[in-house]
């Protein structure tokens, strides 16, 4: 070994290498990543939806980065757990804002969306609600926006459709006595009556109930020609089963909670004719969705839970990326304020799975509603409203 390692030449070479490394390191850190947050239920009772939604978003982020990221810079998504609980959601968002310092974050589940709204507004960080549908989300503040249509959109569509296209004159509304149920039931009533129909029965049921005979008998006595059911995944099948068993043969409409393949399996022939809404295109409507679902089946071994919601979560990073790209080109720092300004300036976004999305100044978004019907034991598209 030469004792003359430390010759001038060697040192100069070493210095050059070090300088180069430092420069590239500096360049790498100058290439800052664009970061945003995702606060979803990763654990708890809603995790079966939340985790699929997170996976969809992660796929999108990976695709975006593969395609060059944000003008060459990386798009980074920081995922935190909310358990769909308002309190835990608050802590997650606090962390995203104070510790991770993101200019925008995505979240879902109405309780969480509402709970973290004050934080987003106070800190001027954009909150994107993707999936929650409570109508009061539109009034939560300057920095709270939704890319998912709020409850009135799909209920309005199905109520109008029943009154106008299906020619129904007397509707009965059966709903779960909880937030989703009561809000949507009111919307249905308003829209149906405005379209010239009459609501002949308006019955709520307790979330813990398993027997709905009383309510259904009242409905039967009122003799409707259409029944709208607004329940949850856990009770919708029972309600419909008992409806049929009590001799209620009228067509039943519901919303996205009914739109799942298990319903058909659980109800068998009794599922025929059930109408549900979906706020995202199905496999038959778009090739991209078809490929998306095929990828799920291939990589995960099943279809995603709550397919429409996962589609929205797949699209959300694309929207965020578009805004970041614009900010990057304009050399504006990615602060919450700038994010919001740019988002409103662009207004309309072309998203891969759910199509065109236009953010309204009233903090709502209007999307086409897909009405799906069970025909021959399968969910088929019946109509599209508002395209």
Partner 1 sequence: MLNATILLQILWTSLATSSYYVLFAVAFALVLKVTRIFNFAQAAIMTVAFYSAFVTVQWLEWPAWAAFIVMMAITLAASFALERIGFEALRKRGVSVMFVFVFTFMVSEFVAYLAMLAFGTWPQTIFPTIFWPVTLVGNIAVSAWDLPAIGATIAMLALLFSFMRFTRMGQFMVGVADNPDLAELYGVNKRQIFLVAVLMAGALVAVGMFLYGTRAQVLPQTGLSLMLFAIAATIIGGIGNIAGAAIAAIILGVIQNSSILVIPSEWQGLLLYVFLFLAIVFFPNGLRLPRRRRRFATATRDIGGSKDASAAEGQV
Partner 2 sequence: MEYVDGIIIIVGLYVILATSFNLIIGYGGLVSIAHPVFFALGAYTSAILARNFGVPVPLAMVAGMIVALVASVALVLPTLRVSGDYLLIASIGFQLGVLEIIKNVRFTGGAGGYTNIPPFLIRDFGRESYVALVLVVMVAVILLVRLVARSDYGRAMSAMRDDELAFASVGRNAMWMKLAIFGLGSGLAGLAGALYAHYFRFITPEQFEILQSSAILTMVVVGGMRTTWGPIVGALLLEALPQAITFLNLPPSVLGPIQGLLFTGLVLVFMFFRPQGLVPAENVWRGGEETR
95 forms part of the interface with partner 2 (CB under 8 A): yes
The least CB distance from residue 25 to partner 2, in Å, is: 25
CA distance 254 to 256: 7
Scan residues 152-211 and list those touching partner 2 (CB under 8 A).
177-179, 182-183
Of positions 56, 64, 85, 322, contacts partner 2 by CB under 8 A = 85
CA distance 253 to 154: 11
Q: Which residues contact 145 (CB under 8 A, 6 or more apart)?
A: 126, 127, 128, 129, 343, 359, 363
How many residues touch partner 2 under the rule CB under 8 A: the total is 35
Q: Which does 238 bind (CB under 5 to 8 A by kind): partner 2, partner 1, none?
A: partner 1
Residues 254/229, Cβ–Cβ less than 8 Å: yes
Of positions 7, 164, 234, 380, contacts partner 1 by CB under 8 A = 234
The least CB distance from residue 241 to partner 1, in Å, is: 5
Residue closer to partner 1 (CB basis): 198 or 213: 213
Q: Which does 380 bind (CB under 5 to 8 A by kind): partner 1, partner 2, none?
A: none
Residue closer to partner 1 (CB basis): 143 or 205: 205
Q: Which does 114 bind (CB under 5 to 8 A by kind): partner 2, partner 1, none?
A: partner 2
Q: For tokens 């903090």, what's the residue?
A: 363
- The full length of the chain comes to 387
> Taking Cα atoms as reference points, which of 129, 138, 133, 139 lies closest to residue 151?
133
335 forms part of the interface with partner 2 (CB under 8 A): no
Parallel/antiparallel/unpaired status of strands 144-146 and 126-129? parallel
Distances (CA, A) of 248 to 214, 227, 253, 338: 13, 9, 13, 55
The H-assigned helical ranges of the chain are 8-30, 47-66, 86-94, 110-123, 151-160, 179-194, 213-222, 236-245, 261-267, 287-300, 307-329, 336-346
241 forms part of the interface with partner 1 (CB under 8 A): yes
267 forms part of the interface with partner 1 (CB under 8 A): yes
235 forms part of the interface with partner 1 (CB under 8 A): yes
Residue closer to partner 1 (CB basis): 210 or 380: 210
Residue closer to partner 2 (CB basis): 97 or 264: 97
121 forms part of the interface with partner 1 (CB under 8 A): no
Query: Tokens in use for 128?
Result: 């994107």
The span of 113-121, 228-236, 340-348, 378-386 binding partner 1 (CB under 8 A) equals 228-236
Residue closer to partner 2 (CB basis): 77 or 274: 77
Residue 217: CB atoms within 10 A of its CB come to 14
Residue 15: alpha-carbon gap to chain centroid: 53
The span of 139-147, 204-212, 321-329, 353-361 binding partner 1 (CB under 8 A) equals 204-212
Residue closer to partner 1 (CB basis): 244 or 340: 244
CA distance 238 to 205: 12
CA distance 317 to 77: 9
CA distance 375 to 173: 23
The least CB distance from residue 211 to partner 2, in Å, is: 18
> Taking Cα atoms as reference points, which of 74, 117, 120 lies closest to residue 97?
120
The span of 71-79, 244-252, 276-284, 367-375 binding partner 1 (CB under 8 A) equals 244-252
Scan residues 101-120 and list those touching partner 2 (CB under 8 A).
110-111, 114-115, 117-119
Scan residues 39-98 and list those touching partner 1 (CB under 8 A).
44-48
Residues 137/153, Cβ–Cβ less than 8 Å: no
User: What is the rounded (10 degree) CA torsion for 316, 367, 274, 132?
Assistant: 50
Q: Which residues pair with 350 in a beta bridge?
A: 356
203 forms part of the interface with partner 1 (CB under 8 A): yes
Residues near partner 1 (CB under 8 A): 44-48, 177, 203-211, 213-215, 217-218, 221, 233-235, 237-238, 241, 244-247, 262, 265-270, 305
Residues near partner 2 (CB under 8 A): 42-44, 47, 51, 54, 80-81, 83, 85-87, 90-91, 94-95, 97-99, 110-111, 114-115, 117-119, 123, 134, 136, 140, 177-179, 182-183
């Amino acid at each position: 070994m030469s004792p003359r390692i430390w010759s001038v030449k060697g040192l100069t070479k070493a210095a050059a290498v070090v300088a180069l490394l430092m420069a590239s390191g500096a360049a790498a850190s100058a290439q800052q990543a664009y970061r945003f947050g995702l606060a979803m239920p990763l654990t708890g009772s809603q995790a079966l939806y939340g985790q699929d939604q997170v996976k969809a978003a992660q796929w999108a982020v990976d695709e975006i980065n593969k395609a060059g990221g944000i003008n060459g810079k990386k798009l980074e998504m920081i995922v935190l757990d909310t358990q769909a609980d308002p309190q835990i959601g608050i802590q997650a968002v606090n962390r995203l804002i104070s510790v991770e310092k993101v200019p925008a974050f995505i979240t879902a589940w109405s309780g969480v969306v509402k709970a973290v709204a004050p934080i987003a507004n106070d800190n001027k960080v954009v909150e994107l609600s993707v999936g929650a549908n409570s109508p009061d989300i539109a009034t939560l503040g300057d920095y709270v926006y939704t890319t998912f249509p709020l409850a009135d959109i799909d209920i309005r569509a199905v109520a109008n459709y029943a009154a106008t296209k299906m020619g129904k004159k007397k509707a009965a509304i059966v709903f779960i006595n909880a937030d989703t149920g009561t809000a949507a039931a009111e919307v249905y009533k308003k829209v149906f009556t405005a379209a010239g129909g009459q609501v002949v029965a308006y019955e709520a049921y307790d979330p813990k109930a398993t027997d709905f005979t009383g309510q259904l008998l009242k409905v039967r006595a009122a003799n409707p020609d259409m029944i709208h059911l607004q329940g949850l995944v856990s009770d919708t099948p029972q309600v419909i089963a008992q409806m049929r068993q009590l001799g209620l043969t009228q067509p039943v409409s519901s919303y996205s909670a009914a739109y799942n393949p298990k319903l058909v399996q659980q109800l068998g022939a009794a599922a025929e004719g059930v109408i549900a809404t979906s706020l995202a295109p199905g496999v038959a409507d778009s090739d991209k969705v078809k490929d998306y679902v095929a990828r799920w089946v291939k990589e995960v071994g099943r279809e995603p839970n709550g397919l429409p919601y996962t589609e929205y979560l797949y699209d959300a990073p694309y929207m965020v990326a578009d805004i970041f790209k614009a900010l990057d080109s304009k050399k504006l720092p990615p602060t919450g304020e700038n994010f919001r300004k740019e988002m409103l300036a662009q207004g309309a976004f072309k998203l891969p799975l759910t199509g065109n999305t236009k953010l309204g100044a009233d903090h709502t978004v209007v999307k086409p509603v897909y009405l799906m019907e069970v025909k021959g034991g399968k969910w088929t598209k019946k109509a599209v409203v508002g395209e």
